[in-house]
Structure 1
Amino acid sequence: MIRNYSRTFHWGRLVSALLLATLLAPAAQAQAPLPDSLKPTPGVYRHALRLDVGGILARNLASSGLGNSGILMPLLLGYERQLRPRLSANAEVLVNGGSPEERAWGLAAQGRYYYYQGRQTGLVGLYAAPTLSYRGIQQESGYGPEVVRRKLGGVGVLLGAQLPLGAQRRFLLDVSGGLMSWTRIGQDKIQNYRRGGGYYEEETYYENGSVFDGRISLGYRF
């Protein structure tokens, strides 16, 4: 009997080639770069919420150093919205600020320009922030029962850095510092005023020329 070895060899080579191609196909697909259209795009975050934790710590340390008891909880909340790639608008609300003798609350409007972001985008980087602020002050007199209510307006500039945290880079650390100048708005309102007893006018912390203002905040962008 004569066997056709050439035909058998031909089919053997074809089967071997198919098996080899099947084994190498997954590896080739894993190494091949994805088209740009299929690559995951980084998240675009145009909003951020922040809480100033540095102010809480600083106020309590200062109060403790002066021998005062109790815990102060000044809450400074901020909301930021991106307007352009490097420009944003920021609004802040202060509740229960100041010291036990000088309570403060208020609002602030801030524009931020991110002058250096590196390869990052979306409310992160080094920034300069012109700021307009309003403060309402309730001050207890150290020389009598009077309680003074005063309104102040402030203007200044803060320099800072906002950095992303976490695996998804949604959390933020915001650190800033600068100078603010304050002036009185309108007339003081005095409670418990003693007629004929005189009144000693005390200046608030803000009314000492240009004063330092800063933030150490934790935030979340979305």
Structure 2
Amino acid sequence: MAVLLSVVSLFQGQAHAQTTPSQDQPARPEYHNAVRLDVGGILARNVAYNALNNNPQMLLPLLFGYERQLGPRVSGNAEVLLNGGEPEERLSGVALQGRYYYFQGRKTGLNGFYVAPTVSYRAVRQLYYYGTSQERRKLGGAGMLLGAQVPLGSRLLLDVSGGVMTWGRLDRQSTDEAASGAYHYDNKTFYERNKSVFDGRLSLGYRF
């Protein structure tokens, strides 16, 4: 009888273990990709341009980024710029960036403080100061950014970075530019006049 009761108790214990839900919380999924839009660039460009211009305009520079995790602390990042600059100096281009997350706390993946060497290309379409002719230039830049990327909930991201980029012209002076130079027109772009400039991001992203 005692043996029979022991067997029944054993089966009841197994059945209870199978029907009782586990108390362990499921592990959070790890995300290895992210897409971002630089909203800070849109705000900064509009404030800077309209504060110094008597004819206010709505500017919409679109800087999109895609990031892919390549290792525990390393990722690659590609950016595309559309409709950048100002009405008299339009910009478009691409950039490649490597990121090293040197401090992540207890979290992993596309999260934490990072350092990011960056190379960039910009195509510039510029109006002459005293005419309607357009001038096109190609610029190359290289620099370093420091930043931090933090999650906002499970999938949203906030990315903030700043650094210095050094720029130079890649193409040669055209015939039209040489002719305009005879009349002392200064058609150098903002990047050519300043060489080394601040570059920053305030982006919202989505990871997947």
Q: Shorter-chain TM-score category?
A: 0.7 to 0.9
**How many residues are aligned here?**
193
Match of 1:217 in 2: 203
Q: CA deviation at 1:69?
A: 1.9
Aligned mates of 2:35, 2:27 — CA distance in 1: 23
TM-score of the aligned structures, taking structure 2 as reference length: 0.83
How do 1:18-167 and structure 2 match up within 5 A?
A: 34=24, 39-67=25-53, 68-166=55-153
Instruction: Note if 1:187 corresponds to 2:154.
Output: no
Match of 2:188 in 1: 203
Q: CA deviation at 1:202?
A: 2.2
Give the ranges of 4+ consecutive aligned residues of structure 1 lying more than 6 Å apart after TM superposition. 190-197
Q: Given that residues 86 and 113 in structure 1 are in contact (C-alpha distance below 8 angstroms), is that contact kept between their aligned partners in structure 2?
A: yes
Q: 1:42/1:106 Cα in 2 relative to 1: closer, same or farther (>3 Å)?
A: same
Tell me the SS of whatever aligns to 2:98: strand
Tell me the SS of whatever aligns to 2:191: coil
Q: CA deviation at 1:134?
A: 0.1
Q: 1:194/1:146 Cα in 2 relative to 1: closer, same or farther (>3 Å)?
A: farther
Aligned mates of 2:203, 2:180 — CA distance in 1: 46
Aligned mates of 2:125, 2:167 — CA distance in 1: 16
Q: Deviations over 1:165-208 (max 9, x none)?
A: 02xx2100000000000000012447699789736232211121
Aligned mates of 1:99, 1:128 — CA distance in 2: 29
Q: 1:135/1:53 Cα in 2 relative to 1: closer, same or farther (>3 Å)?
A: same
Between the aligned residues of both structures, percent identity stands at 58
Greater Rg by CA: 1
Q: Given that residues 30 and 109 in structure 2 are in contact (C-alpha distance below 8 angstroms), is that contact kept between their aligned partners in structure 1?
A: yes
TM-score of the aligned structures, taking structure 1 as reference length: 0.78
Q: Given that residues 135 and 177 in structure 2 are in contact (C-alpha distance below 8 angstroms), is that contact kept between their aligned partners in structure 1?
A: no
Aligned mates of 1:79, 1:176 — CA distance in 2: 15
Q: CA deviation at 1:209?
A: 2.5
Q: Given that residues 148 and 190 in structure 1 are in contact (C-alpha distance below 8 angstroms), is that contact kept between their aligned partners in structure 2?
A: no
Deviates more, 1:134-143 or 1:187-196: 187-196
Alignment root-mean-square deviation, CA = 2.7
Q: Deviations over 1:29-48 (max 9, x none)?
A: 68x854xxxx4111110000
Instruction: In structure 2, list runs of 5 or more residues that go unmatched.
Output: 1-8, 10-15
